[in-house]
Amino acid sequence: MRSQDASEAVLAATAALLEEAGYHGVTIEGVAKRAEVAKSTVYRWWKSKPALVMDAYRHSVEQRMPTPDTGTLAGDLTLFTTELYRIAEHPLRVRALRGLMAEAQLDPAFAEEFRGWVESRRTVVKEILARAADRGELAPGTDPDFAADQVFGPFWYRLLVGHADLGPALARDHVAQLVEGLRGRGTG
């Protein structure tokens, strides 16, 4: 098996095990067996289980959610948020993501890797916002970090608390409300 193929197999095996068994159910031995590689191969490429799990999850999410570039803020955020909310259609992914968030609160080593993954997703949104600012679609002084929080806040809150629906059909309305606020409205 070539290195690239082995790497892809390890990432796919890790993501599958994460969804099936949760973070605590992922072991290097289990990943190696499923990927049909030696444990030493896994350890050579990833320094720890947290690094492996979050790299696998990052890879999986990036494949499902490429960075949109429709030419408009509303178009880009709607595509991004629709795919983000699509997790609700996959109960195993919901469970895995909830578990990752919980683990990040309990394990400092895992929290560092998890924050790196979260920042990679925030970077996508900040790139969308930067393009929108260049096109003049945002109110002057818009804080891109806070705007990214406004994209992810409803997602995480609804995912973790479960008090309201979360699904791709809601994305367009959520984005419309957000974009209206980011563009700024006159008072009076």
Token pair 């997703």 is at which residue? 121
Q: What pTM was computed for the model?
A: 0.89
CATH number for the region 65-183 comes to 1.10.357.10
Contact status, residue 31 vs residue 14, Cβ threshold 8 Å: yes
pLDDT of residue 121: 96
Cα 140 to Cα 110: distance, rounded to the nearest angstrom: 37
Q: What is the pLDDT of residue 188?
A: 36
Task: Please check whether residue 83 is in contact with residue 65, taking contact to mean a CB–CB distance below 8 angstroms.
Answer: yes
- What's the pLDDT at 4? 86
Residues of the chain with pLDDT under 70: 1-2, 185-188
Return the pLDDT at 182.
82
* Helix/strand/coil percentages in the chain, nearest 5: 80, 0, 20
Model pLDDT, residue 163: 94
Domain with CATH 1.10.357.10 in the chain: 65-183
3-47: CATH topology: Arc Repressor Mutant, subunit A (1.10.10)
- Give the residue range(s) of CATH 1.10.10.60 domains in the chain: 3-47
| Per-residue pLDDT, 162 | 92
> With helix as H, strand as E and coil as C, how does 118-176 read?
HHHHHHHHHHHHHHHHHCCCCCCCCCHHHHHHHHHHHHHHHHHHCCCCCCHHHHHHHHH
Q: Which pLDDT does position 81 carry in this prediction?
A: 97
Residue 181 pLDDT: 84
Position 186 scores a pLDDT of: 45
